[in-house]
């Protein structure tokens, strides 16, 4: 199964208020294992960066001034994600920004049916606990010492590890491939051919056993198994 783990950085909290996406990082996973394929880009938001947002991700107006517009890379982004499920932490926030940018480009939005929210998964798995990405990394022993500021690709890499743990750990990826399945099937056939066939042993109750059971039921008050 192919899934895309992703994160975004923005100028603020709500695209309806004019906020824009300035970075996106995507990681391809197949059967919950990263393939090494990624999509990462910075975008010129065509507006100034609020100081509060810059303090979170460190992306300044000067840094973003020479970056491409989202519209220039929108099709590359869509080609990368294809129709795969999209996994994010507090995914509704990221979906709102992606779809706002796609709408500005006149492109189809990413449907919410593809959304996988790791916050919702964590609420089920760890009710009452802290659910931030930092808190989940600490819970699962995931090293985030190199994370001094938020970054879309870095956070996606951390989230990919968290997501695997939320889904049950690495053992879920130990699936048999086609070649292995054929080998196992062949071994089963060989074992069956070599098996010594024995006639089934009789196991029905004798008349004496049935009579003894009926006599026992007379001593039990309304036995359920005597109906």
The answer to the question of whether 57 is labelled as a binding residue is: yes
Q: Tokens 């990082």 appear where?
A: 25
Residue count of the chain: 227
Q: Which residues are part of the catalytic machinery?
A: 150
DSSP class per residue in 6-59: EEEEESSS-GGGT--EEEEEEEEEETTEEEEEEEEEE---SSPPPHHHHHHH--
Residue 52 is labelled as binding a ligand? yes
Q: Which two tokens stand for residue 24?
A: 């996106």
Alpha helices (runs of H) in 88-172, residue ranges in sequence order: 91-104, 118-125, 133-140, 152-166
Sequential DSSP letters for 46-78: SSPPPHHHHHHH---HHHHTTSPPHHHHHHHHH
Report the distance separating Cα 139 and Cα 133, nearest Å: 10
Task: Please tell me whether 79 is known to bind a ligand.
Answer: no
Binding residues for a divalent metal cation: 7, 9, 155
Binding residues: 7, 9, 52, 57, 155
Binding residues for substrate: 7, 9, 52, 57, 155
């Amino acid at each position: 199964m192919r899934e895309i783990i992703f994160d975004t950085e923005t100028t603020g909290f709500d695209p309806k208020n004019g906020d824009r996406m300035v970075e996106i990082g995507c990681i391809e996973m197949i059967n919950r294992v990263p393939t090494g394929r990624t999509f990462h880009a910075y975008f010129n938001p065509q507006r100034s960066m609020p100081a509060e947002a810059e303090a979170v991700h460190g992306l300044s107006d000067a840094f973003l001034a020479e970056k491409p517009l989202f519209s220039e890379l929108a099709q590359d982004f869509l080609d990368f994600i294809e129709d795969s499920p999209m996994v994010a932490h507090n995914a509704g926030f990221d979906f709102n920004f992606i779809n706002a940018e796609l709408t500005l480009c006149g492109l189809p939005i990413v449907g919410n049916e593809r959304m996988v929210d790791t916050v919702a998964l964590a609420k089920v798995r760890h009710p009452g606990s802290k659910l931030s990405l930092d808190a989940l990394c600490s819970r699962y022993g995931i090293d985030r010492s190199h994370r001094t500021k938020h970054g879309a690709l870095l956070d996606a890499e951390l989230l990919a590890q968290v997501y695997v743990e939320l889904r049950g750990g690495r053992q879920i990826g130990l699936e048999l491939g086609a070649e292995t399945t054929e080998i196992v099937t062949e071994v089963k056939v060989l074992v069956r051919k070599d098996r010594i066939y024995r006639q089934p042993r009789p196991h029905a109750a004798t008349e004496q056993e049935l009579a003894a059971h009926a006599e026992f039921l007379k001593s039990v008050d309304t036995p359920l198994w005597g109906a």
